[in-house]
Amino acid sequence: MFAKYYVTKFVSKIKAMAEFWEESFKDKKEMWGLEPAKATVLIKDFFVEHKIKNILIPGIGYGRNAQIFIDSGINVTGIEISKTAIDLAKKHFGNGLKIYHGSVTKMPFDNILYDGIFCYGLVYLLNRDERKKLIQDCFDQLSENGFMVFTAITKDAQTYGQGTLISKDRFEMFGGVKIFFYDRETIQEEFGNTGLFEVTLVTENYPFHLIKCKKIL
């Protein structure tokens, strides 16, 4: 009885998340342009330097962060909840880019081990349990000595504290999107057991922590 209640609640939350992004992409299409984000350019150099050849991008959107890796000889696979975003990615970047349609909460989508994972603009949109699962699932899909990199919005963002407080440092805003704002402490708490070795800052439209982890067995 209780299990059924929680499964139903979980499924409706995923549906609401999918609808929010589906509507956003239908309405605003390529809303961040077609150029890669600043963090992507930095991580492309980092991956090339470490001879990374096969990467996974959870929450790939319409693919603006994929091409720069592909141009550097890196194979890219994505995961994306919005079908409209996937169609936009196909339009701009062709069928060569494989994207699984679904929620990252359903990872893994394949049994491949990737030597790099780049998760831009996603982890902070999830709740605590979903963040924990995403981070662990990414770590599990990394090959030995592989790197995973996440961007996470910081508490210095202008939007920190705006909207409705849902839980500590998590707010509902912008017509329904929920955002968890990270600090050094919560980064350590959530990434500390999955090879965390470096946190730097990068400023895009918001200030982001750039979180790097390495899988050493």
Residues making contact with ligand SAM (CB under 6 A): 17, 21, 32, 37, 59-61, 64-65, 79-82, 85, 103-105, 120-122, 125
Least spacing, CB of residue 1 vs ligand SAM, in Å:
27
Rounded to whole angstroms, the Cα distance separating 153 from 159 reads: 10
Q: Which is nearer to ligand SAM, 96 or 144 (CB)?
A: 96
Structure tokens at 104: 């990252």
Give the HSE-up count for residue 175: Cα atoms under 13 Å, Cβ half-sphere.
Answer: 5
> Smallest distance, Å, CB 179 to ligand SAM?
10
Q: Give the DSSP per-residue string, 111-136.
A: -PPEEEEEE-S-GGGS-HHHHHHHHH
Q: How far apart (Å, rounded) are the C-alpha atoms in residues 42 and 45?
A: 5
Considering beta carbons, is residue 79 or 148 the nearer one to ligand SAM? 79
Q: Between 127 and 143, whose beta carbon lies closer to ligand SAM?
A: 127
Tokens of 160: 């920190």
Q: Which is nearer to ligand SAM, 82 or 141 (CB)?
A: 82
Q: Phi and psi (nearest 5°) for 213?
A: -130, 150
Least distance to ligand SAM, CB of residue 48, Å? 20
Q: Cβ of residue 121: shortest distance to ligand SAM, in angstroms?
A: 3
CB of 60 to ligand SAM, least distance (A): 6
CB of 32 or CB of 139, closer to ligand SAM:
32
Angle, CA of 51, 193 and 39, to the nearest 5°? 45
